[in-house]
Chain A
Amino acid sequence: MGDPALSRRGFLAASAAAGLSMTALSGCGGDSDGGSSGTTTIEWWNISTTEPTKSVWAALAKKFEAQNPKVKVKIVQLENDAYKSKMTALTASGKLPDIFHTWGGGVLKQQVDAGLVEDLTDRTKPWADGLLSVAKEPYLLDEKAYGIPFDIGMIGFWYNKALFKQAGISTPPTTWSGFLDAVGKLKAKGITPLALAGKEKWPGMYYWAYLAMRTAGADALQKANDDKDFTSAEFVQAGQHLKDLVDLQPFQKGFLGAAYSTPTGQAAAVGNGKAAMELMGQWAPVVEADAGKGLGGDLGFFPFPAVEGGKGAITEVFGGGGGHALRQGAPQAAVDFLKFFASESTDLELVKKTGVLPVVPSAESAIADPNIKAVQAQLKGATGFQLYLDQAYAPALGQEVNDSVAALIAGSKSAEQVSESITKVAKEEQ
């Protein structure tokens, strides 16, 4: 009786052992990759999961491999949110990929503070000096460069020229009071002046951040973060200016529940001509055409207006881009790859095919769209720069800014309360 049972058990044990040794073997296989044969494999983690960028980048990796026969590039692509959570886990585990996507700012600083990121200042100096300086800004921490940009952009107003004409607005406003006037004129004609994705909170934060830059100056947001104090009169004023706008009821019906890129969201409202403006980044035209019909030639761009009497100028930009950083101790091949990726020929291709803004100044000849040219001109002439707050600040603080500005827009918080609650969270962190 015992025998068959035993043999069955024996079989199970044997197969379990076989399974284990298989995993062990495959584990070895993974580790020995690219060691002895003289080729180096560099892992490149990015978030370009959509076409055409996906295949353009893959082709660029092939080109780099052809130029450097001893280097293999292994591409790992993750969707934006999945990438962020995966990177959080990797940062906690203490090992990052050779080359990885970064937005700079607070998250990059966290990784740098943990000793996980390579200091690129000296190794990239000879060729990185020529890159657009505003584009390099997000990756500079304590005057050291920890990343190389491939894209840069900024927030500004995207508007419908036809609707502006209909309301009798001949030129886009350059001052805040002029802007409020324009909103009034549009409303008088029965046109919804602004589209806003209230459900997602970050688009509303742009208004407050820009107003704070215009009233308190371009470096005030960074300084307030360092001092953990957002209660200065200028920040309260910024909130007050936003309140003035909200009181005009400029947003589309149901904006508190609207998303950004869905068919009933903010971008679609502008893209379908239902709202005259949105405050959004350089990607806005693409999303407007994707979620809605798109405005084509009727779409225009103007920078966020200056606030009368404020310390900031209309030439100071709020924005950010995309870049690559290297893990601490990444091979030389990874640095070579960054150089290749920031070269003029690569940038020309990226600008032409994937619609990013050039980081190599000479590549701007490849921009065809007049609106993108306007954005580029604004960026080139930028006299000050502030990185997106959710990247510049610690996560909790960035979220609190979004949250309390959303409350101000919904009418449940005053300008003072916004400053207070942001300061409270800033003080709690560390």
Chain B
Amino acid sequence: MTSTFLPDKRTGPDTDVPPPAAGKARGRARRRTLNWFTAVGFQLPALVLFGVLVLLPILFALYAAFFRWGGFGMPSDYIGVDNFTRLFDDPVFLGDLWRCLVLVLLSLALQLPFALAMAVLLNQKVRGRAVYRMLFFAPYVLSEAITGVLFSMIFAPDDGLADRLLGGIGLDGLGGEWFADPSTVMATLFLVMTWKYFGFHMMLYLAGLQSIPRELTEAALIDGANAWQRFRNVTLPLLAPTLRISVFLSVIGSIQLFDLVWVTTAGGPDHHSETMAVTMFQYGFKRYQVGYASAISVVMFGISLVFALAYQRFVLRRDLEGATTTMRGGGK
């Protein structure tokens, strides 16, 4: 049935085929159907997996966020937007948003410039720069859980490596309770994040730096530009696409931060290092208030989505032109 039906529908692009050669056209159409089936057949497993494991849970969380639901059976106690109003009344969650913002700002203001400085430094002819590059990148390879365990030991009050080391060189005053003190926990956490991630951003920048043609810097040198001017007016603008991607990754990473916090402080002391993901975990898997936890995850998803779309639309547009956006300006 399909073989007689489809050719009629598919004649659109095939109008150049003269009517007498209908058999040939039918053969081509059949091959096309076959190709279509092959394509669908190959894509189906991936599509089904993606649908079941990614799309469905997202949609379900969106649905569950409107219920009071303990995770057993199907959600049935519909409470409208109560979960969301409760969320924005909860000082812990508002604190999560604030801490997320702090981490983003600290990353942008300190961590990334530091990574850039190291990248510029290691792009010079320094003795043993390959070793340095490897050493600085190494922490990124460690899992966040292992990093967390490691630094819980290093920053253990009194007995940890950090306090012992500071004590050993007579700087006891700089030591402290690190993760255990509500006033220092965020700084300590940021220190560990920087240790772990600056190498990754440094690597990105190094790759970017190496794609900048030497001729441009040389030309600037001949024009009499000093080192700062060469960096500011040649290197930095050409590195901008890499910088924009790196900022993007850093922000999304800060929004979703979980493992490191969970292992080192579990959000403590007294919620002072809690992130949105930690709060979500607490409610979803410790208190079994899955509806409320879903609402948190929906807000996290929303923030990430809005940021990602806005960033792509307004910041990454130049870099992505022709790739994911329209071909506008492609002719230039």
Minimum-distance CB pairs A-B, first 4: A257-B180, A254-B157, A256-B269, A254-B180
State whether B265 touches A257 (Cβ < 8 A): yes
Q: Which residues of B, 247-275, contact A by the 8 Å Cβ criterion?
A: 265-266, 268-270
Interface flag for A427 (CB, 8 Å)? no
Q: Which residues of B, 205-231, contact A by the 8 Å Cβ criterion?
A: none
State whether B153 touches A264 (Cβ < 8 A): yes
- Per-position 1/0 for A257-274, Cβ under 8 A of B: 111001110000000000
- Per-position 1/0 for A383-408, Cβ under 8 A of B: 00000000000111001100000110
State whether A264 touches B269 (Cβ < 8 A): no
The interface residues of chain A lying within 8 Å CB-to-CB of B285 are 85
Minimum CB–CB distance for A113 against chain B, Å? 10
Q: Which residues of B, 156-170, contact A by the 8 Å Cβ criterion?
A: 156-160
- Report the count of interface residues on B (CB-CB < 8 A): 28
The interface residues of chain A lying within 8 Å CB-to-CB of B23 are none
Q: Which residues of A, 155-193, contact B by the 8 Å Cβ criterion?
A: none
The interface residues of chain A lying within 8 Å CB-to-CB of B286 are 395, 399
The interface residues of chain A lying within 8 Å CB-to-CB of B72 are 91-92, 110, 114
Chain B residue, CB-CB nearest to A408:
B270
Interface flag for A223 (CB, 8 Å)? no
Q: Which residues of B, 279-299, contact A by the 8 Å Cβ criterion?
A: 282, 285-289
State whether A257 touches B157 (Cβ < 8 A): yes
Minimum CB–CB distance for B157 against chain A, Å? 3
Query: Can you list 26 pairs linking A and B with CB atoms under 8 Å apart?
Result: A91-B72, A92-B72, A198-B180, A198-B268, A199-B266, A199-B269, A253-B158, A253-B180, A255-B180, A257-B178, A257-B179, A257-B265, A257-B269, A258-B180, A262-B152, A264-B157, A264-B159, A394-B288, A396-B288, A399-B282, A406-B268, A406-B270, A407-B270, A410-B182, A410-B269, A412-B270
Chain A residue, CB-CB nearest to B288:
A395
State whether B265 touches A199 (Cβ < 8 A): yes
Q: How far is the CA of A255 from the CA of B270 in the complex (A)?
A: 12
State whether A92 touches B71 (Cβ < 8 A): yes
Tell which of A201, A254, A394 has the most Cβ of chain B within 10 Å.
A254
Q: How far is the CA of A259 from the CA of B179 in the complex (A)?
A: 12
State whether A256 touches B268 (Cβ < 8 A): yes
The interface residues of chain B lying within 8 Å CB-to-CB of A410 are 182, 269-270
Chain B residue, CB-CB nearest to A390:
B286
State whether A256 touches B287 (Cβ < 8 A): no
Minimum CB–CB distance for B58 against chain A, Å? 20
Minimum CB–CB distance for B260 against chain A, Å? 14
- Per-position 1/0 for B122-148, Cβ under 8 A of A: 000000000000000000000000000
Tell which of A85, A255, A395, A407 has the most Cβ of chain B within 10 Å.
A395
State whether B268 touches A396 (Cβ < 8 A): no
Q: How far is the CA of A85 from the CA of B290 in the complex (A)?
A: 14
DSSP majority for the A interface?
helix
Interface flag for A88 (CB, 8 Å)? yes
Knowing A396-B288, A396-B289, A410-B270, the reply to whether A256 touches B153 (Cβ < 8 A) is: no
Q: How far is the CA of A32 from the CA of B287 in the complex (A)?
A: 39
The interface residues of chain A lying within 8 Å CB-to-CB of B71 are 88, 92
Chain B residue, CB-CB nearest to A425:
B287
State whether B177 touches A257 (Cβ < 8 A): yes
The interface residues of chain A lying within 8 Å CB-to-CB of B282 are 399
Chain B residue, CB-CB nearest to A84:
B285
A interface residues, Cβ below 8 angstroms from B: 85, 88, 91-92, 110, 114, 198-201, 253-259, 262-264, 394-396, 399-400, 406-407, 410, 412
- Per-position 1/0 for B284-324, Cβ under 8 A of A: 01111100000000000000000000000000000000000
18 extra interchain contacts, Cβ-Cβ under 8 A, other than A256-B269, A396-B289, A410-B269?
A88-B288, A198-B269, A199-B266, A199-B269, A200-B266, A201-B268, A254-B177, A256-B270, A257-B180, A257-B265, A258-B180, A259-B152, A264-B152, A264-B160, A395-B286, A399-B286, A406-B268, A406-B270
Minimum CB–CB distance for B242 against chain A, Å? 37
B interface residues, Cβ below 8 angstroms from A: 71-73, 152-153, 156-160, 177-182, 185, 265-266, 268-270, 282, 285-289
The interface residues of chain B lying within 8 Å CB-to-CB of A200 are 266
The interface residues of chain B lying within 8 Å CB-to-CB of A262 are 152
Q: How far is the CA of A199 from the CA of B148 in the complex (A)?
A: 14
The interface residues of chain A lying within 8 Å CB-to-CB of B180 are 198, 253-258
The interface residues of chain A lying within 8 Å CB-to-CB of B266 are 199-200
The interface residues of chain A lying within 8 Å CB-to-CB of B178 are 254, 257
Chain A residue, CB-CB nearest to B273:
A257
Tell which of A254, A257, A259, A407 has the most Cβ of chain B within 10 Å.
A257
Q: How far is the CA of A110 from the CA of B71 in the complex (A)?
A: 12
Tell which of A110, A201, A256, A394 has the most Cβ of chain B within 10 Å.
A256
State whether B287 touches A396 (Cβ < 8 A): yes
Q: How far is the CA of A399 from the CA of B288 in the complex (A)?
A: 10
Knowing A92-B72, A253-B158, A410-B270, the reply to whether A399 touches B287 (Cβ < 8 A) is: yes
Q: How far is the CA of A76 from the CA of B187 in the complex (A)?
A: 44
Chain B residue, CB-CB nearest to A88:
B71
The interface residues of chain A lying within 8 Å CB-to-CB of B156 are 254, 264
Tell which of A85, A253, A394, A400 has the most Cβ of chain B within 10 Å.
A253
State whether B158 touches A256 (Cβ < 8 A): no
Tell which of B73, B156, B282, B285 has the most Cβ of chain A within 10 Å.
B156
Chain B residue, CB-CB nearest to A394:
B288
Minimum CB–CB distance for A45 against chain B, Å? 19
Chain A residue, CB-CB nearest to B286:
A399
The interface residues of chain A lying within 8 Å CB-to-CB of B289 are 396
Chain B residue, CB-CB nearest to A410:
B270
Chain A residue, CB-CB nearest to B160:
A264
The interface residues of chain A lying within 8 Å CB-to-CB of B288 are 88, 394-396
Chain B residue, CB-CB nearest to A258:
B180
The interface residues of chain B lying within 8 Å CB-to-CB of A253 are 157-158, 177, 180
The interface residues of chain A lying within 8 Å CB-to-CB of B270 are 256, 406-407, 410, 412
The interface residues of chain B lying within 8 Å CB-to-CB of A407 are 270
The interface residues of chain B lying within 8 Å CB-to-CB of A85 are 285
The interface residues of chain B lying within 8 Å CB-to-CB of A259 are 152
Minimum CB–CB distance for A195 against chain B, Å? 13
State whether A256 touches B182 (Cβ < 8 A): yes
Minimum CB–CB distance for B164 against chain A, Å? 12
Minimum CB–CB distance for A291 against chain B, Å? 13
Q: How far is the CA of A110 from the CA of B288 in the complex (A)?
A: 12
Tell which of B156, B181, B270, B288 has the most Cβ of chain A within 10 Å.
B270
The interface residues of chain B lying within 8 Å CB-to-CB of A400 are 287
Minimum CB–CB distance for A425 against chain B, Å? 8
The interface residues of chain B lying within 8 Å CB-to-CB of A92 are 71-73
The interface residues of chain B lying within 8 Å CB-to-CB of A110 are 72
The interface residues of chain B lying within 8 Å CB-to-CB of A394 are 288
Minimum CB–CB distance for A253 against chain B, Å? 5
Minimum CB–CB distance for A250 against chain B, Å? 16
